Amino acid sequence: MVTVTSYGAAGTVTGSCHLIEMDDIRILVDCGMFQGEDYITALNREPLGFDPTTLDAVVLTHGHLDHCGRLPLLVQEGYSGPIYATRPTYDVARFILLDSARIQHEDWLRAEEHEVRHGRHVPPPLYTEQDVFDTLDLFETARYDEPIQVGPLRVTFKNAGHILGSAFIVIEGRAARVVCSGDVGTWEQHVVPDPELPPEADVVLLESTYGGQTHEPLEQAMEKIATFISEVVEAGGNVLIPTFALERAQDVLFILRKLDREGRIPRVKTFLDSPLAINFTRLHRRYPEQLGEAVKRVILRGEDPFSWPGLTLTRTQRESRRIDYIESGAVIMAGSGMATGGRILRHLFNNLWREESGVLFVGFQAEGTLGRALLDGADEVEIYGEPVVVKARIENIEGLSAHADEPQLLKWVAPTRASRVFLIHGESPAPEALQASLKEKLGMESTISERGVTYPAL
């Protein structure tokens, strides 16, 4: 008997949390934060839906917040067993969870100050830094392709090619083999290797984020970046790139370095204006063997794949502020990736009203964010409570996704020949589109998982 229950990332793309029960063992795969609009983030404060003290093990596919962000809640509720993850995933999760605790604390202080005056109650942070440290204490490191024994079950991490350290999970018992996809990466990325293909399996939990969609080819994306930067610099403006600190920042650094070396963009001053992205870039250098082929080739030549003479790292506020005096010819990468906060806001404030400047989006922009408003063509936006007229050029690059598109998801899942496929991690209409394609192209039946529903899988 095998059962599968998704307590998150079922009908949403965030909050990944899946319970697999097999041979009387209960394994939780991921326990991530719900992110996005208020009605989704409100789910973080609802009961988990299961008793964490009954779990035999927790397995973490990768360090993104929507996969690891609620782990401290398990520990608050009494979980004291192992949390298995690859070594780089531990490092990534450490940064991400501590950053999350810090941001929650700061948001709370700010909200309290504002709301107390209006007599409203502000809920405290979900967890503190101390909760994060208690959670990190439970981590045990797993290596790719070396099974871990959880009771009678064998649990194996396989490279998912999504971000540094990312894995999909193979759980094998007497009754069956279950594969949990985590997030599947794309082929021919720079920073991380191609995803491995899974073995034959009875049951698959498959992410469906980009069901029904096909990404633009990488070379085309790079050409668009080169053209945009060249034109904005020629016009006498600055280029702003709102950047996610992990993976996307390293991807963009590698691409800009390549474009610079190949003479495809003018010699510009480039700034990585994000302490978190600087830390993650250092972390990538620590695991050269786990990086993609293109990056490895550069390392083998004795060069740094994420640096070149035109790049400046600005860690402190003071260094960051100096960028404000540059009127033209700068490429500025800063967080947050959806322009919901962070240093990018200041750069947008300084540049959005200038028609010679440009904003280059390189990642997904959720509804309700400033990034989405700019992409949707807003004429005026509000930053720091002040109206800012939008005159800068806005460009969107779609080819840098760290997620497999539909053709790649089909390629990935085909070798499993699974009789039971559960579609998770997708927002309508993506899972429905993938469901139709699975049936039509691979003859595979699938179920779109609903949150909190236990499905007998075999």
Looking at the Cβ atoms of 271 and 412, the one nearer to Zn ion is: 412
| Rounded least distance, CB 115 to Zn ion, Å | 32
Q: Which residue has the tokens 């496929």?
A: 421
If one counts every other C-beta atom within 10 angstroms of the C-beta of residue 226, the result is: 20
> Measured in whole angstroms, how far is the alpha carbon of residue 153 from the centre of its chain?
29
Chain residues 88-127 in contact with Zn ion, contact rule CB under 5 A: none
Stretch of 183-191, 215-223, 276-284, 299-307 contacting Zn ion, by CB under 5 A = 183-191
CB-CB contact of 410 with 441 (8 Å) = yes
* 30 touches Zn ion by CB under 5 A: no
Choose between 64 and 177: whose C-beta lies nearer to Zn ion.
Answer: 64
How far apart are the C-alpha atoms of 340 and 28, rounded to whole Å?
31
Q: Which listed range, 148-156, 181-189, 224-232, 438-446, lies at the site for Zn ion (CB under 5 A)?
A: 181-189
Shortest reach from residue 133's CB to Zn ion, in Å: 23
Q: How far is the CB of 64 from Zn ion (least distance, A)?
A: 4
Nearer to Zn ion, 64 or 248 (CB): 64
**Minimum Å distance from CB 388 to Zn ion?**
32
Q: Which residue from 158, 206, 199 is spatially nearest to 181, judged by alpha carbons?
A: 206
Q: Between 89 and 369, whose beta carbon lies closer to Zn ion?
A: 89
User: Would residue 102 be called left, alpha or beta, if left means φ above 0 and alpha means ψ between -120 and 50 degrees?
Assistant: alpha
With tokens 């190949």, the residue in question is 262
Q: With contacts defined by CB under 5 A, how many residues of the chain interact with Zn ion? A: 2
**Residue number with CB closer to Zn ion (21 or 251):** 251
Stretch that binds Zn ion, among 114-122, 129-137, 176-184, 226-234 (CB under 5 A): 176-184
Which residues make beta-bridge pairs with 313?
272
Which amino acid is residue 458, in one-letter code?
Answer: L
Tell me the closest approach of the beta carbon of residue 400 to Zn ion, in angstroms: 14
Tell whether omega for the bond before 429 is within 30 degrees of 0, i.e. cis.
yes
Q: Which stretch binds Zn ion (CB under 5 A): 62-70, 95-103, 144-152, 294-302?
A: 62-70
Give the nearer residue to Zn ion in terms of CB position, either 92 or 448: 92
Question: Residues 95, 279: contact at Cβ < 8 Å?
Answer: yes
In the complex, least distance from residue 91 CB atom to Zn ion, rounded to whole angstroms? 15
Measured in degrees and rounded to the nearest 5, phi and psi for residue 21 equal -115, 125
Interface residue with Zn ion among 30, 183, 207, 273 (CB under 5 A) is 183
User: Least distance in Å: CB of 52 to Zn ion?
Assistant: 22
Helices (H) and strands (E) in the chain, counts: 14, 22
Nearer to Zn ion by Cβ, of 357 and 401: the residue is 401
Handedness of CA 234, 235, 238, 240 (dihedral sign): negative
Shortest reach from residue 85's CB to Zn ion, in Å: 13
Partnered with residue 382 across adjacent β-strands are: 387
Nearer to Zn ion, 64 or 215 (CB): 64
Nearer to Zn ion, 30 or 172 (CB): 30
Task: Kindly state the smallest distance separating residue 83's Cβ from Zn ion, in Å.
Answer: 17
The residue range among 49-57, 59-67, 135-143, 354-362 that interacts with Zn ion, by the rule CB under 5 A, is 59-67
* Helix 129-136 × helix 87-116 angle, to 10°: 160
8 contacts 43 by C-beta, under 8 angstroms: yes
| Least distance between Zn ion and beta carbon 306 (Å) | 20
Cα dihedral 234, 235, 238, 244, rounded to 10, equals: -80
Cα gap 18→304, rounded to integer Å: 39
| DSSP string over 431-442 | HHHHHHHHHHHH
Among 4, 5, 31, 64, binds Zn ion (CB under 5 A): 64
Pick between residue 183 and residue 260 the one whose CB is nearest to Zn ion. 183
By CB under 5 A, name the binding residues for Zn ion.
64, 183
